[in-house]
Amino acid sequence: MPYEKKEHTAVMTSRQRLIETLVIFRRSLIYQTKEFFQNSTLHGVRYIAETGRPIGEKFMWFCFTSIGAVTALVIIMSLWEKFQTNPTITGLDTDFHNQNVVFPTTVVCPETAYDHGKAYEEVYKSLANYDADKAQQITPFLNQLTSLNFDNIREAGVLAEGIPAELLAEHTLRDWAFRAQTPCENTLNSCKYRDEDIVCCDHFQPIYTEHGFCYAFNSRFMSTATEDSKTGPPHDLYETDKKWALFFLPNSTSRIFIFSNEEYFGSDFNAQIDWTDDQLVEVRISKKNTYTTDDARQLSIGQRKCIFSDEVKLNYFPDAYTFSSCMKQCRMTKAIKLCKCNPSFYKPISNVPMCAVKDFACLNEYKLNITNIKDCLQCELSCSKTVFNIDKLMKFMDRAEASGVLVEFLTWPIIRYKREVLFGWVDLLVSFGGIASLFLGFSLLSGVEIIYYFTLRACCMVYKNRQELYEIEQRIRHEPPPAIDLQLKLKSHSKPANSQTSSAVLQVQPADTQNVDLYSLSRQRKSEKDYLNYSKSLYRTPKVLPDHGYASSKDKWQFDHGQYLP
């Protein structure tokens, strides 16, 4: 029992000491608040806490300081919003001398991407086991694979119902699609580049995407049955070339896509031209190139709304970042996550299985989720991008003797746009400092001063002047606070009230006009003259600091320790 009593007493003692320390720390904060207000360089705050100032004057300065702080805060918030939403500006690049231009990627997607005879022969020898009737039933499935995408994947699943799964498993669906594709020789007849004849199939490479089988000129990748591989250097144009154009003659109805060589072809692109037989289409294009200066790297991706080519490394397209490759990777990632396989019309991934016929139901079920662009908001435009606009499109019908597609630059590209920082971190700091200084007289050292007063200095005072703070706290508890004087007049000056008055202003009593003689009148004029001289001398002699009403012996303690009062 005595041990428990001692332990209880120790706990109570430690709790009391903690409460006592908190009370003393509160008194130290009150003192530091008064010290900060009296010595701070912030505009107007010293008048709020100055002892002896009328309450009306303190309230007036409090209102002025609050209005200045609110105004500065509103302007600073507007500058911050501008910095977050619109910190860059785009203008013409005047220092631009273009020597060569990369010709845009031109993709030809035939409406019929399969070769029926080739597909039938492949099915007859393998899947149908030399059964002609069965080959006729299975061939449409292979034809469908050459243009497989999320829109027709359900129909492909229906066509595959009668095919033995073990026979289909001998090859991947991508491999079966390549066995049925229409060859380049049957897609393009004749081609010209720079007004010179070229071999079409040497320059148009096969690509397999959501648009099915297509052939692309100047593409950055080409497709095979096992991978998407890089192509060689792009085709350039020079200002001295005979013609800045590409001409080709498709063999059947086709869709034509024209876009920058930097991009990856996929479902993000729409066809600009629908070509049919015996038709001559002339397309006049212009190039618009925009690049972003390196000083924009100081901004976040969300602020500048673009990504540098080396800033984000994509898992499936690691060469260089582009918007189209990011969107394609986003769709691939969602398909792999939801269905645990990679669709055959996407780039093959080494450690991810390719989707089979049994996965078509899953892909069809989640196709809206996979193709939903709202789930790919992390994909931003590239900071260096090239856009080809069609300025003039002319179609001539019934031109069997001169049909084809001509893609030509309208004028030589001589304009480039530059995107640079309009409002960076340094500009933001200067703006914040100017506004805070204008309205409040605030600087970075003022912030350090605030932290110093209310942390280090307040804590040090608790440990160095603990006994003094404790005595003041006890004294304040037992004495009532002083009465608040609402009068707008200064109180008496330095000496106590019971001593002789040494006020800087003499109280002159009005003269009695009924009992005035000549002698007293002359003495009164002399006194007025002496008072005038005395008043003038006040501007040449140092003023006496006021005691603000704490002159009586009763208020001596209050005068000595008034800075500790709230």
Do the Cβ atoms of 118 and 230 come closer than 8 Å?
Answer: no
C-beta separation of 380 from 323 below 8 A: yes
pLDDT, one tens digit per residue, over 10-67 is: 555 777 777 777 777 777 777 777 777 777 778 888 788 777 778 888 888 888 888 9
Q: Measure Cα distances from 23 to 30, 56, 208, 469 in Å.
A: 11, 30, 77, 9
- The CA distance from 487 to 491, in Å, is 10
Q: Residue 527 and residue 531: Cα distance in Å, rounded?
A: 6
**What share of residues in the chain are helix, strand, coil (percent, to 5)?**
45, 20, 35
Quote the pTM value. Answer: 0.69
SS3 assignment, position 306: coil
Contact 390, 272 (CB under 8 A): yes
Helix, strand or coil for residue 137?
Answer: helix
Give me the phi and psi of 103, to 5 degrees please. Answer: -70, 145
pLDDT of 328 strictly over 90: yes
Token readout for 213 is: 């089988």
Q: State how far the Cα of 296 lies from the Cα of 48, in Å rounded to an integer.
A: 45
Rounded distance between C-alpha atoms, residue 306 and residue 291, angstroms: 10
Interatomic CA distance for residues 343 and 74, integer angstroms: 53
Query: Can you tell me the distance from the alpha carbon of 384 to that of 304, in angstroms, rounded to the nearest whole number?
Result: 12
CATH match for 307-382 among 2.60.40.650, 1.10.150.120, 3.30.460.10, 1.10.287.820: 1.10.287.820
CA atoms within 13 A on the CB side of 455: 6
What does pLDDT average to over the chain?
81
Would you call 229 helix, strand, or coil by DSSP?
Answer: strand
| Tokens 């790919």, residue located | 376
The pLDDT, as a whole number, for residue 528 is 57
Q: Which of 23, 18, 22 is nearest to 473 (CA)?
A: 23
Query: 298 pLDDT band (50/70/90 cuts)?
Result: confident
What does the domain layout of the chain look like in residue ranges?
16-85+427-473, 101-295+388-421, 307-382
Strands 416-421 and 279-292: parallel
CB 327 within 8 A of CB 376: yes
Q: Could you give the CA distance from residue 383 to residue 399 in angstroms, rounded to a whole number? A: 43
SS (H, E, C) 493-514: CCCCCCCCCCCCCCCCCCCCCC
- Average pLDDT score over residue span 311-334: 92
Would you state the pLDDT for residue 492? 45
Asked if pLDDT for residue 423 goes beyond 70, the answer is yes
The string of pLDDT tens digits covering residues 226-275 is 999 999 889 988 888 889 999 999 999 999 999 999 999 999 999 999 99
Rounded distance, CA 488 to CA 53, Å?
8
115 with 229: CB under 8 angstroms?
Answer: no
Q: Is the dihedral of CA 249, 254, 258, 263 positive or negative?
A: negative
**Residue 429 to residue 447: CA distance in whole angstroms:** 14
Three-class secondary structure assignment of 309-360 = CCCCCCCCCCCCCCHHHHHHHHHHHHHHHHHCCECCCCCCCCCCCECCHHHH
The pLDDT of residue 543 is above 50: no
- 204, 108 contact by CB (below 8 A): yes
Structure confidence at residue 521 (pLDDT): 53
For the chain, the straight-line distance linking the first and the last C-alpha, in angstroms and rounded, comes to: 46
Residue-wise pLDDT for 505-537, tens only, equals: 334 444 444 444 555 555 565 665 555 555 445
54 burial class (0-12, 13-18, 19+ CB within 10 angstroms)? middle
Burial 80-108 (b: 16+ CB within 10 A, else e): eeebeeebbeeeebeeeeeeebbbbbbbb
- Give the orientation angle of helix 425-440 with respect to helix 55-85, to 10 degrees: 170
> What was the pLDDT predicted at 519?
53
Cβ-based neighbour number of residue 282 at 10 Å:
16
pLDDT digits (tens, 9 = 90+) for 114-163: 999 999 999 998 888 888 889 899 999 999 999 999 999 999 999 988 88
DSSP-assigned states of every residue in 504-543: SS--PPPP-SSS--HHHHHHHHHHHHHHHHHHHHTTTSPP
200 vs 183, 243, 259, 326, CA distance in Å?
Answer: 12, 18, 19, 30
pLDDT at residue number 564: 46
Q: Which two tokens stand for residue 183?
A: 């060859």
Query: Does residue 374 surpass a pLDDT of 80?
Result: yes
Distance CA 234, CA 104 (A): 9
C-alpha span between 546 and 72 (Å, rounded): 35
